[in-house]
Amino acid sequence: MKIFYGIIEDRQDPLKIGRVRVRCHGIHTDRKDLIATPDLPWAQVLLPTTSAGLSGFGTQHGLVEGSTVWGFFRDGEQCNQPVVVGVSTGIPQSGYKGQEGKDADVKRSITKGFNDPRMLTVAYDGTPDGVNPTHAPTRGHGLTTGLDSAPIGPKSREINYDGTGSKITNPTITADDLPYYPLYTDDSDLSSFARGEGDYAGRDTSEANGIPSKAKPVYPYNKVTQTESGHVIEIDDTLGVERIAVEHRSGTFHEIHPDGSQVTRIVNDNYTVVCKDDEVWVGGNVNVTVGGDAKISVSGQTDITSTKTLTVTSPDIKLYANNISLNS
């Protein structure tokens, strides 16, 4: 068994079983004219025992192009059967020590190995990562996806409370942004929410008579899952401000506060379907504010009971019925 660490360069497994291609330090050169990304062997990824890894049960790994992983070759010195056992975080640098350049700093580039190799579009023909390149004229496969079809986090979100809905603006990726992953350098790979540095201003619902987020996470007590497109799940154990929050990239979120209160915001339409009975029990008061029209349609009998005064206020009241009975 031979241990390795390296950088993931491809996750588009044609078998769709979660394999990745890894360029391993000390084993593979960074020269793509010698070993391109499609030349790398597919590596299996070990999952935790909480995932069945069978018949669709369990979870998948979250590895992406640019992830630093550790593993071993189960065929030893042959180095053709890699197995990934874990991923490590760090602080990405703007350059790396190139194998061919000895101690020289080499700028990150999609034309060199140990980087995210994806282009803006599927335009790999004529490059080492394309089909039948110069160094491998009989290789019948190459990279098949570009960044135009890859997940991307929002550049900005416009949250409107006037009934017009909300909008997401995605960033425009240019050649200057390549390699795309890591998204930033000289800062921790951990989510800013996990580091206690996340921006929670977008969860303030006070404009709609709501309340701001109670989030005050302290590292390392906030357990965060953050995805490429911008979804965030938090399970925060920070003393005194314990929370659970799930936020969609659009700004729709659900958050449970330290005292058990909860806030839900839906930035566009909301649909609730109950296929049988539905019961709502409220121990205190209920306030419903509707900015537009409201309609209630009932197929069966409707009863409204109040033990105190029932007040209906409107500039115009219309009643339509075959019979109207008023009993005091």
What is the set of domains in the chain, with CATH numbers? Answer: 1-150 (2.40.50.260), 151-283 (3.10.450.190)
Q: Give the residue among 200, 208, 199 at the shortest CA–CA distance from 166.
A: 208
**Given this model, what pLDDT does residue 36 score?**
97
**Given this model, what pLDDT does residue 189 score?**
95
Q: What is the pLDDT along the chain (328 residues), one digit of tens a residue?
A: 899 999 999 999 999 999 999 999 999 999 999 999 999 999 999 999 999 999 999 999 999 999 999 999 999 999 999 999 999 999 988 765 555 545 555 677 899 999 999 999 999 999 999 999 999 999 999 999 999 999 999 999 999 999 998 999 999 999 999 999 999 888 999 999 999 999 999 998 988 888 888 999 999 999 999 999 999 999 999 999 999 999 999 999 999 999 999 999 999 999 999 999 999 999 999 999 999 999 999 999 999 999 999 999 999 999 999 999 888 7
Dihedral, 80, 116, 84, 100 alpha carbons, nearest 10: 50
Q: Are 85 and 46 in contact (CB under 8 A)?
A: yes
DSSP letter at 268? S
How many Cβ atoms are within 10 Å of 256's Cβ, its own excluded?
A: 17
**Given this model, what pLDDT does residue 48 score?**
94
**Given this model, what pLDDT does residue 105 score?**
59
Backbone angles phi, psi at 207, to 5 degrees: -65, -25
**Given this model, what pLDDT does residue 94 score?**
72
**Given this model, what pLDDT does residue 328 score?**
77
Q: Give the residue among 177, 65, 78 at the shortest CA–CA distance from 113.
A: 65
How many Cβ atoms are within 10 Å of 203's Cβ, its own excluded?
A: 21
Give a three-class secondary structure readout of 62-82: CCCCCCEEEEEECCHHHCCCE
